[in-house]
Amino acid sequence: MHQYPLWKTITLIVVTLIGALYALPNLYGQAPAVQIATVSGDPFPAEFGDQVSKALAGDKIAAESSRLENKQWVVRFASTDTQLQAVDTLKHELGQGYVIALNLASKTPAWLEAIGARPMPLGLDLRGGVHFLLQVDIDDARKAAVQRYLNDLPSYLRKKDIRYTARRAEGDTVVLEFADGDKLEKARAAIAADYRELTLTVPANAAKPTLQARMSDAEAKRIVDYAVQQNLVTLRNRVNQLGVAEPIVQRQGQDRILVQLPGVQDTTRVKDLLGATATLEYRAVDETMGAAESAAQTGIVPPDDELYYTRNGHRPVLLKRDVIASGPQLTDAAPTMDQQSGTPAVSVTLDSSGASRMFDFTRQNVGHLMAVLYKETVVDTNYNAKGEAMRERRDIADIISVATVREPFGKRFQTTGLSQKEAHDLSELLKAGALAAPIEIVEERTVGPSLGADNIKRGTYAAVAGFCLVVTFMVVYYSLFGLFADIALLLNMIILVAVLSIFQATLTMPGIAGLVLTLGMAVDANVLINERIREELRLGLSPQAAMTAGYERAFLTIADSNVTTLIAAFVLYLLGQGAIKGFAVTLGIGIATSMFTAIVGTRTLAHYWSRGRKLQDLPV
Cβ contact 127:262 at 8 Å:
yes
Which has the minimum average pLDDT: 131-145, 172-186, 277-291, 577-591?
Answer: 577-591
Whether pLDDT at 1 is above 50: no
- Bridge partner residues of 371 (DSSP): 283, 402
- Assess whether pLDDT exceeds 90 at residue 18: yes
Residue 2 has pLDDT above 60, yes or no: no
DSSP 3-state of 408: coil
Topology annotation, domain 6-25+449-610: Multidrug efflux transporter AcrB transmembrane fold (1.20.1640)
What number is the average pLDDT over the span 286-307? 89
Cα separation values, 444 from 236, 351, 368, Å: 18, 36, 48
Q: For CATH 3.30.1360.200, list the domain ranges present in the chain.
A: 220-446
The predicted structure's pLDDT at residue 286: 92
pLDDT over threshold 60, residue 432:
no
Does 365 have pLDDT greater than 80? yes
Average pLDDT over residues 22-34: 86
How many CB atoms are closer than 10 A to CB 608? 11
Q: Residue 156 in contact with residue 189, Cβ under 8 Å?
A: no
pLDDT (mean) for 570-580: 79
Secondary structure class of 554 (helix, strand, coil): helix
- The DSSP annotation for 432-496 comes to H---SS-EEEEEEEEE-HHHHHHHHHHHHHHHHHHHHHHHHHHHHHHHHHHHHHHHHHHHHHHHH
* Amino acid type, 95: G
Which is more confidently placed, 334 or 467?
Answer: 467
> Per-residue pLDDT tens for 76-130?
888 878 888 888 888 878 876 777 777 777 888 888 888 888 888 777 777 777 8
Which of these CATH numbers, 1.10.3720.10, 3.30.1360.100, 3.40.50.300, 3.80.30.20, describes 139-216?
A: 3.30.1360.100
Give the alpha-carbon dihedral of 219, 223, 225, 228, to 10 degrees.
-170
Task: Determine if residue 433 is left, alpha or beta; phi over 0 gives left, psi from -120 to 50 gives alpha, anything else beta.
Answer: left
Asked if the model's pLDDT at residue 324 lies above 60, the reply is yes
- Burial annotation 35-67 (CB, 10 A radius, 16+ → b, else e): bbbbbeeeebeeebeeebeebbeeeebebeebe
Lowest average pLDDT, out of 212-226, 329-343, 415-429, goes to 415-429
CATH 3.30.70.260 fits 30-106, yes or no: yes
Per-residue pLDDT for 177 more than 80? yes
Cβ distance 619 to 479 under 8 Å? yes
> CA geometry: angle at 504 spanning 523 and 40, to 5°?
165
Q: Please give the average per-residue pLDDT across 183-194, as a whole number.
A: 89
Check if the beta carbon of residue 415 is closer than 8 Å to that of residue 400.
yes
- What is the residue-averaged pLDDT of the chain? 82
Whole-number pLDDT of residue 509 = 79
Please give the torsion angle defined by the CA atoms of residues 229, 230, 235 and 238, in that order, rounded to the nearest 10 degrees.
150
* Residue 13 banded pLDDT, cuts 50, 70, 90: very high
78 vs 80: CA distance, rounded Å: 7
204, with CB counted inside 10 A (0-12, 13-18, 19+), is exposed
Region 2-21: mean pLDDT is 87
pLDDT of 607 higher than 60 = yes
Task: Provide CATH 3.30.70.260 ranges for the chain.
Answer: 30-106
Mean pLDDT of 28-40: 78
Q: Is the pLDDT of residue 389 over 60?
A: no
**Does the pLDDT at position 526 exceed 60?**
yes
Q: How confident is the model at residue 619 (pLDDT cuts 50, 70, 90)?
A: confident
Class level of CATH domain 220-446:
alpha beta
Give ranges for CATH 3.30.1360.100 in the chain: 139-216
Q: Tell me, what's the pLDDT at 108?
A: 86
pLDDT at residue 284, as a whole number: 92
Instruction: Check residues 35 and 295 and name the one with the higher pLDDT.
Output: 295
Residue 584 has pLDDT above 80, yes or no: yes
Comparison of pLDDT for 560 and 452, the residue scoring more: 560
